[in-house]
Amino acid sequence: MTYLDEILKSRRDTRHFTEEQIPDAVLEKALQAGHWAPSVGLTDATKYYLIRSVEMKKAIKDLFLDYDQKAIALTENEPQKAAYKALKLEAIEEAPLGLVICYDRSVLNNFTIGTVGSNEAIKFSSVCAAQNIWLSLTEQGYSMGWVSILNYYQFKELLGLPDNMEPIGYFCVGKPATDYDNQPMLQQLNWKQKQQNPLVEELSILHQSKVETTFFEVPNEINSAAFAKAVQYKIDQKTKPTGSLGVLEVLAKQIAMVFQTLEPKIVQPNIVVFAADHGIANHGVSAYPQDITRQMVTNFLDGGAAINVFCKQNEINLSIVDAGVNYDFPMKMDLISAKIGKGTQSFLHTAAMSKTEMQLCFSKGATIVKTIAKTGSNCIGFGEMGIGNTSTASVLMSVITGFLIEECVGKGTGINDEKLQQKIEILKKSIENYTGEADLESKMAYFGGFEILQMAAGMLEAYRNNMLILVDGFICTVAYLVAFTKNPLIKKNTIFSHQSAEQAHKKLLDYLKVDAILQLDLRLGEGTGCALAFPIIESAVAFLNDMASFESAGVSSKKL
């Protein structure tokens, strides 16, 4: 065994430290080793922050304890819960030094070799730096412990890090108080045994994925003028002045026409939230870091988001789709996996996705809705989550409708006026940089988002299955715009739940010549507008089915 092998084998995720301070020379040598680590595109994307403040350590420890409780709740049984609680998973306050290792996503503002496949390559470079630091410390008789059980957004705010700086974790650094019997601590405490040898498999067969492109088909017209008259007659014969129920009458007629019955019923309503990340987010177009997408998907799955509350309130089934989040979720999560990639590329410099990826979006989006339709559901709402997706939606709206980008851009997650102007300039430059073909498919691939195109495909599939389609806010309406461009007949099945606070949404609704049910100044997304509008839709169905007619109630229908 070589000396290097010994260092590699003895490197430990350390949670027990002595009080001995770290000499400057030791720290400098370790950080230099981190600087020597591989970095994608030879970028200087890794930055280090040192923490010795007792007050800061305590605050970070409190963040850990908060998320540690969430981790405890995720254990699978009582013995595992007890075993987890017995583990020492950090030494934030005991270790003499805290080290925060960050990657700077602003390097992606310029073309960076090696990031075309995934923007995460920047993060991977910082992980390589962390490993080099660990090995250097081990060789010098010191060590680190990686603390990742944190809310990274709160952690970032606590440290006052700029928007572009993303931490990969908090590291406790110091002189180890034990060698854990020369084995990983989790192994020493029998939490889990790591197998002796690496997993290796040689691949020799190519697997070609088949991408369906049948989403261009247009279903036949099924509604008749005679049936429309029958529905209107039933509505007009209810015990009320003609037209007095306003929008409810419009909805009732639309729903009856969709289902071709005078007694329509909403069956197993379902809202599907599609989540994905966007390369354009690396240019600071959002008030929040990209990792919020991953955090919010976890929140959806934990039942803690607004859409969870409203779906539960209105007895609506909720499905969450990973259309392309820049994160690998655990397999056991109740999550529909339709990941095209770990976020799109930045369309400031290149196409957001390839045409093959665009085709996959349509294939996967259609499959998800087809599966839901097979359960008997006849009503589906669409929602989304993705940091940066208002920018993507704004550009798609501009290139499809011909509106100036300034007319299509809003504050999204709540950026200030200065950031809004920067956002407009970035998106304007992105459109100016486009040199591709003028057809819709080319523009969708260049400027699209994985979740937006999957929603468009899902809407088309919902129409093919004659489902009632509920559209949420601005981003979902842009997805509808794509679907409508493919098949204008989809309009007959579609209900627009609300007019959002995004300034471009009203313009887009007017362009489509449609009206929204609600105007509540919402700008949350997630499909919340669909869930909030659903009771009104149910009321429209209820009055059509259950309200007495003039004849059945013995009330005169003559006007005074």
DSSP reduced 3-state for 10:
helix
Residues 470, 540: contact at Cβ < 8 Å? no
* Confidence band, pLDDT 50/70/90 cuts, at residue 215: very low
What whole-number distance in Å separates Cα of residue 545 and Cα of residue 256?
Answer: 10
What whole-number distance in Å separates Cα of residue 302 and Cα of residue 336?
Answer: 15
Please tell me the predicted confidence (pLDDT) of residue 556: 64
Which active-site residues does the annotation give?
A: 526
DSSP code at position 197: S
Residue 214 has pLDDT above 50, yes or no: no
Please tell me the predicted confidence (pLDDT) of residue 223: 54
* Confidence band, pLDDT 50/70/90 cuts, at residue 138: very high
More confident residue, 356 or 555: 356
| Residue 20: both structure tokens together | 């001995």
pLDDT digits (tens, 9 = 90+) for 142-180: 999 999 998 877 898 899 998 788 899 999 999 999 888
Residues 360, 208: contact at Cβ < 8 Å? no
Residues in the chain: 560
Q: Which residue has the tokens 């523009």?
A: 443
Please tell me the predicted confidence (pLDDT) of residue 459: 98
Tell me which architecture the domain covering 266-539 has in CATH.
3-Layer(aba) Sandwich (3.40)
CATH fold of 4-74+82-108+117-189 reads NADH Oxidase (3.40.109)
Please tell me the predicted confidence (pLDDT) of residue 220: 46
Q: DSSP secondary structure string, 73-90?
A: HT-SSHHHHHHHHHS---
For the chain, the helix, strand and coil percentages under 3-state DSSP, each to the nearest 5: 50, 10, 40
DSSP reduced 3-state for 244:
coil
Phi-psi region of 108 (alpha: psi -120 to 50; beta: other; left: phi over 0): alpha
Per-domain residue ranges of the chain? 4-74+82-108+117-189, 266-539
Q: Average pLDDT in the 342-360 region?
A: 90
* Confidence band, pLDDT 50/70/90 cuts, at residue 495: very high
